[in-house]
Amino acid sequence: MDIDVHPGETLIQAAWRAGYHWPTLCYAMGTCTACQCEVLDGLHLLSERTAAEVALLGDLNRRVRRANPRRVRLACQVTVAGDVTVRKPGVRRRSPTTCEEVGNANGND
């Protein structure tokens, strides 16, 4: 899938805007690691790590070694400046039914 990321927008914000579900527990607050993704290409086009990323991913890197730690980023913190390729299991298009149900639950028709 291709997701267009606007300047200053995080990867997770771009995915949400484009209608994708991106796994998260803290809803882009930078307090969990559920939105982490592995950068496969374009690492040099990413923003510097935020303080939240340094703290959270540093702890995660000490516990889990599934991917090269330099390639793991938090989608809620990272911005991009060009074409990058990432791997994130669980990202999928939101179904229109789910969006309608949320709107109806909030009293919107």
Which CATH superfamily includes the segment(s) 11-105? Beta-grasp domain (3.10.20.30)
What pTM does this model have? 0.81
pLDDT digits (tens, 9 = 90+) for 1-37: 889 999 999 999 999 999 999 999 999 999 999 999 9
User: CA–CA separation, 60 vs 94, rounded Å?
Assistant: 28
User: Regarding beta strands 72-74 and 20-21, do their DSSP bridges make them parallel or antiparallel, or are they unpaired?
Assistant: unpaired
CB 16 within 8 A of CB 22: yes
For range 36-64, the mean pLDDT: 88
pLDDT at 106: 46
Which tokens sit at 28?
Answer: 């882009």
DSSP 13: H
pLDDT at 61: 65
What is the CA angle 95-98-96, rounded to 5? 40
Which tokens sit at 45?
Answer: 């086009």
Q: Give the range among 46-50, 80-84, 98-102 with minimum mean pLDDT.
A: 98-102
